[in-house]
Chain A
């Protein structure tokens, strides 16, 4: 087992050295772009925390685009990073609006109970 792992590690190192064999991350980059779009329309620009992660996502997306073809391995990681940043931005925006909605519902209930 061990020799195989060692061989695998060697292969990876070899591949890195050549900068070859990692395909351009076109699909994951497109998926990241779609996630950024979802975060933008999902209210992320209106919430400070979400906005910060949206900006990070946009930066990673930009960097990934520049590196495609040049350093596909890094471009892949950056695309994945852009995805999670965008997803987090959307989740934070969703959480913030849900909290607002919950507070309003609670207040409506209290008002109705007070009548």
Chain B
């Protein structure tokens, strides 16, 4: 039965009829058509051309000797070449895509870097400004301390100056400021207070003026006298430019003596006015 097939095919050729192409050739034609219609024609024209030549060879072999085993082999070769062109083109496209994605990634990274650098510059600028401000503040503080020292040195020439937990304490003896039992300031006192007011002006430090007496006489009287004396000094300082809301007066009478009231010298030391300049808050 099978022996009849070649004979029948031969008869078909003899009659000028169409031969049925082998499956390999049908596949090769289909794969080549697909390859030619795809991206390979642009991306890998050399392999497409080779596939074309291989297909022509296979077609020629089919026309010349359709029954030869080599015709099928040539068709397979043509088919594989078409597939190679297709795979190479697709690989090439993928590689191009990779390149493109990498370039975009690089661009995105560069943009991010630029952004970060921008932020860094901004932060550095802010830091520099803060440092400059801090330096200026430091300078102001130093200036203030220098002024305070100057003030203290000035005051120390006309009064006793010491520091305790209340702040800087300027002590003026009662005899220098007031006549016995009085609370209006002597001209010499005014001159001293002028110096003190001038030195303290502009420092903006809260100040308390304390008045003290010795223990001679009634306590009530001493309390009143010391309050009036403190108030007189306070008012005078205000009149010389110390802000009134920064300076207050308080009479302490015979309390908190600094010396023994039993001796003349001790009592003289206890009759005093203390101007306490508190640290700036």
Q: Which residues of A contact B (CB under 8 A)?
A: 9, 53, 73-74, 77-78, 80-81, 84-85, 87-88, 91-92, 94-95, 98-99, 101-102, 105-106, 108-109, 112-113, 115
Contact assessment for A77 and B98 in the assembled complex, using a CB-CB cutoff below 8 Å: no
Known: A77-B70, A101-B94, A109-B108. A94 touches B80 (CB 8 A): no
Q: What are some 10 contacts across the A-B interface (CB < 8 A)?
A: A74-B69, A77-B70, A77-B73, A87-B80, A94-B88, A94-B91, A95-B91, A98-B92, A106-B101, A108-B105
Q: When chains A and B are docked, how far (Å) is the Cα of A65 from the Cα of B95?
A: 37
> What does the 1/0 interface line of B50-78 toward A look like (CB < 8 Å)?
00000000000000100001100110110
Could you tell me if A95 and B101 are in contact, using CB atoms closer than 8 angstroms?
Answer: no
Chain A CB within 8 A of B109 CB: yes
Contacts of A80 in B (CB 8 A): 73, 77
A112-B109 contact, Cβ under 8 Å, with A77-B70, A94-B87, A94-B88: yes
Number of interface residues of B (CB under 8 A): 27
Bound-complex Cα distance A15 to B268 (A): 151
Cα A80 to Cα B57 in complex, Å, equals: 13
CB distance from B265 to the nearest CB of A (A): 84
Using A9-B64, A78-B73, A112-B108 as known contacts, list a sample of 18 further A-B pairs with CB atoms less than 8 Å apart, ordered by residue number in A.
A74-B70, A77-B73, A80-B73, A81-B77, A84-B76, A88-B80, A88-B83, A98-B92, A98-B94, A98-B98, A102-B97, A105-B98, A108-B101, A108-B105, A109-B108, A112-B105, A112-B109, A115-B112
Q: A84-B77, A109-B101, A109-B108 are in contact. Are A102 and B84 (CB under 8 A)?
A: no
A81 to B98, CA, bound (A): 33
Q: Do A87 and B94 contact each other (CB < 8 Å), given the known contacts A112-B105, A113-B108? A: no
Which A residues touch B77, using CB under 8 A?
Answer: 80-81, 84
Q: Mark B5-49, 1 if CB is under 8 A from A, else 0.
A: 000000000000000000000000000000000000000000000
> Does B80 lie within 8 Å of A85, measured CB to CB?
yes
- Point out the residue from A9, A94, A109 that lies within 8 Å of B105, measured CB to CB: A109
The residue on B at minimum CB distance from A110 is B101
- Taking the complex as formed, is B179 at the interface, i.e. its CB lies under 8 A from any CB of chain A? no
The 8 Å CB contact of B97, one of A95, A106, A112, A115, is A106
In this complex, the member of A84, A87, A99, A108 whose beta carbon has the largest number of chain B beta carbons within 10 angstroms is: A84
Instruction: Specify which chain B residues have a CB less than 8 angstroms from the CB of A94 in the assembled complex.
Output: 87-88, 91
With both chains docked as a complex, state the minimum distance between the C-beta of A18 and any C-beta of chain B, in angstroms.
16
- The answer to whether A109 and B104 touch across the interface, beta carbons within 8 angstroms, is yes
How distant is the Cα of A99 from the Cα of B97 in the complex, in angstroms?
9
Contact partners of A102 in chain B: CB under 8 A: 94-95, 97-98, 101
Does B90 count as interface, using CB distance less than 8 angstroms? Answer: yes
